[in-house]
């Protein structure tokens, strides 16, 4: 089965990290987010992914230059201008005349895609949406359904306290070719605001399945950090990154690292290949990227230090993301 992955957005809420690296290629616990997503899709029988690109396409082209990720074939299309979610899907689906799985390229999840496809088949649906439950749905598209899962409405960003349900669109869909054909070619169209609501005009076409699987939209700095903590905490299984070994309880290491004998590491921590932790440094609940350095006496707490970055001697990094190759040091 083929998947279309929407990765064309600018990721404005994660600037400045996304000025040079598109959001789907930012690492989550030292693995580019999109690789985690493709691994998840591969587990559910997806053997070809079409990336719907727009912003910084050359970064994806370089990353997937071989056209493969493991056993999966990788293709991409590049939008000349942002086409929105449905426009992006329609453009990527040109030439595809079979059922596809579609997902947003910024949702970390272990949703059961196999179960979603089964649910879709059992109802002979034209489109099926995965739903996840959130405490505050006011920033999301809320999707009330009948008992059997048939969608009854779409409520975009309901005011706090006024949502008909806490179940929101999780950004993973199964779509039949008939839905793909209905997306007007090369126009800016939103699937959640236009395509899906229009399908409610006739009954028994659009369904949604409720899921309690892990789900997190990584699109804000707070959520980006939360995703790393969840992966380190084993919420998506362990080890937190392929090949990482447990050096001590909750302390994970990839490849060769350099840890000073009096440095303090407090779980959960992941150190990437070539990471260096200096004398007397204290690192807790954090990810230290490949080739990154925490200099002597520095303290890193609930933070993400990306590849090649440095936290200067005796500095404190608390609840921060240090961009790749940056140096964190107080001025003056
Ligand atoms: P913000 O600018 O911070 O809102 O992030 P974003 O650009 O990623 O937008 P948003 O989180 O709403 O997008 C959800 C998913 O759809 C992401 O995976 C985006 O990459 C993708 N996306 C958003 N707009 C487009 C688009 O116009 N074309 C394509 N191909 N993908 C899009």
pLDDT digits (tens, 9 = 90+) for 237-292: 999 999 999 999 999 999 999 999 999 999 999 999 999 999 999 999 999 999 99
Q: What is the pLDDT of residues 206-227, one digit of tens each?
A: 999 999 999 999 999 999 999 9
**How much distance in Å is there from the Cα of 11 to the middle of ligand 1?**
7
Containing structural domain, residue 258: 238-328
Q: Is residue 231 domain-resident?
A: no
Q: Is residue 229 domain-resident?
A: no
Give the model's pLDDT for residue 302. 96
Burial-class residue 8 by CB neighbours within 10 Å (0-12, 13-18, 19+). buried
Q: Which of 221, 254, 276 represents a domain boundary (last residue)?
A: 221
Please identify which of the residues 2, 23, 157, 223 carries the catalytic annotation.
157
Confidence of residue 330 (pLDDT cuts 50, 70, 90): confident
The answer to whether residues 18 and 160 belong to one domain is yes
Give the model's pLDDT for residue 65. 95
Cα(77)–Cα(92) distance, integer angstroms: 6
The answer to whether residues 247 and 192 belong to one domain is no
Here the CATH number for the domain that contains residue 318 is 2.160.10.10
Q: What is the pLDDT of residues 70-116, one digit of tens each?
A: 999 999 999 988 888 888 899 999 989 999 999 999 999 999 999 99
Q: Are 12 and 18 in contact (CB under 8 A)?
A: yes
Give the model's pLDDT for residue 288. 98
In a mutational test of the pocket of ligand 1, which residue from 3, 5, 6 has the highest number of ligand atoms less than 8 Å from its CB?
A: 6
Q: Are 18 and 11 in contact (CB under 8 A)?
A: yes
The answer to whether residues 167 and 84 belong to one domain is yes
Here the CATH number for the domain that contains residue 152 is 3.90.550.10
Cα(48)–Cα(157) distance, integer angstroms: 33
Q: Is 106 in the pocket of ligand 1 (CB under 6 A)?
A: yes
The answer to whether residues 200 and 146 belong to one domain is yes
Q: Is residue 293 domain-resident?
A: yes
Q: Are 63 and 27 in contact (CB under 8 A)?
A: no
> What share of the chain in percent tops pLDDT 70?
99
Q: Is 2 a catalytic residue?
A: no
The answer to whether residues 247 and 144 belong to one domain is no
The answer to whether residues 51 and 130 belong to one domain is yes
The answer to whether residues 31 and 115 belong to one domain is yes
Nearest atom in ligand 1 to 11's CA: 5
Q: Is 82 in the pocket of ligand 1 (CB under 6 A)?
A: yes
Confidence of residue 186 (pLDDT cuts 50, 70, 90): confident
Domain count across the chain? 2
Q: Is residue 291 domain-resident?
A: yes
Q: Is residue 271 domain-resident?
A: yes
Q: Which of 189, 221, 253 represents a domain boundary (last residue)?
A: 221
Q: Is residue 136 domain-resident?
A: yes
Q: Is 217 in the pocket of ligand 1 (CB under 6 A)?
A: no
The answer to whether residues 92 and 212 belong to one domain is yes
Is residue 331 scored above 80 in pLDDT? no
Q: Which of 154, 188, 221 represents a domain boundary (last residue)?
A: 221
Mean pLDDT of the chain: 94
Q: Once rounded to an integer, what is the mean pLDDT over residues 318-324?
A: 94
The answer to whether residues 315 and 250 belong to one domain is yes
Q: Is 83 in the pocket of ligand 1 (CB under 6 A)?
A: yes
The answer to whether residues 255 and 319 belong to one domain is yes
Nearest atom in ligand 1 to 10's CA: 7
The answer to whether residues 123 and 160 belong to one domain is yes
- In DSSP terms, 211 is beta-bridged to 132
Q: Are 311 and 317 in contact (CB under 8 A)?
A: yes
Q: Is residue 233 domain-resident?
A: no
Q: Is 151 in the pocket of ligand 1 (CB under 6 A)?
A: no
Q: Which residues contact 331 (CB under 8 A, 6 or more apart)?
A: none
Q: Is 104 in the pocket of ligand 1 (CB under 6 A)?
A: yes
The answer to whether residues 162 and 113 belong to one domain is yes
**How much distance in Å is there from the Cα of 109 to the middle of ligand 1?**
17
């Amino acid at each position: 089965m083929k998947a279309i992955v929407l990765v064309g957005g600018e990721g404005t809420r994660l600037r400045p990290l996304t000025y040079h690296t598109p959001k789907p290629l930012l690492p989550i616990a030292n693995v580019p987010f999109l690789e985690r997503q493709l691994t998840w899709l591969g587990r559910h029988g997806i053997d070809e992914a079409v990336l719907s690109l727009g912003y910084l396409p050359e970064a994806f082209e370089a990353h997937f230059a071989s056209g493969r990720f493991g056993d999966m074939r990788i293709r991409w299309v590049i939008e000349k201008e942002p086409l929105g979610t449905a426009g992006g899907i329609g453009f990527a689906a040109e030439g595809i005349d079979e059922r596809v799985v579609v997902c947003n390229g910024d949702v970390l999840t272990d949703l059961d895609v196999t179960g979603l496809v089964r649910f879709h088949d059992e109802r002979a649906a034209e489109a099926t949406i995965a739903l996840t439950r959130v405490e505050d749905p006011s920033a999301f598209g809320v999707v009330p359904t009948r008992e059997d899962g048939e969608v009854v409405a779409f409520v975009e960003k309901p005011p706090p306290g006024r949502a008909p349900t806490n179940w929101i669109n999780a950004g993973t869909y199964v779509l039949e070719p008939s839905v793909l054909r209905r997306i007007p070619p090369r126009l800016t169209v939103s699937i959640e605001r236009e395509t899906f609501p229009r399908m409610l005009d006739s009954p028994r076409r659009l369904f949604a399945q409720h899921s309690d699987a892990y789900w997190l939209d990584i699109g804000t700095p707070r959520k980006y950090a939360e995703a790393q903590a969840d992966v380190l905490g084993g919420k998506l299984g362990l080890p937190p990154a392929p090949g990482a070994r447990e050096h001590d309880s909750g302390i994970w290491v990839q490849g060769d690292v350099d840890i000073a004998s009096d440095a303090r590491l407090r779980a959960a921590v992941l150190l990437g290949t070539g990471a260096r932790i200096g004398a007397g440094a204290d690192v807790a609940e954090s990810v230290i990227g490949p080739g990154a350095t925490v200099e002597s006496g520095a303290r890193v707490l609930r933070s993400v230090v990306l590849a090649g970055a440095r936290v200067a001697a005796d500095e404190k990094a608390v609840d921060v993301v240090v961009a790749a190759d940056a140096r964190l040091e107080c001025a003056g």
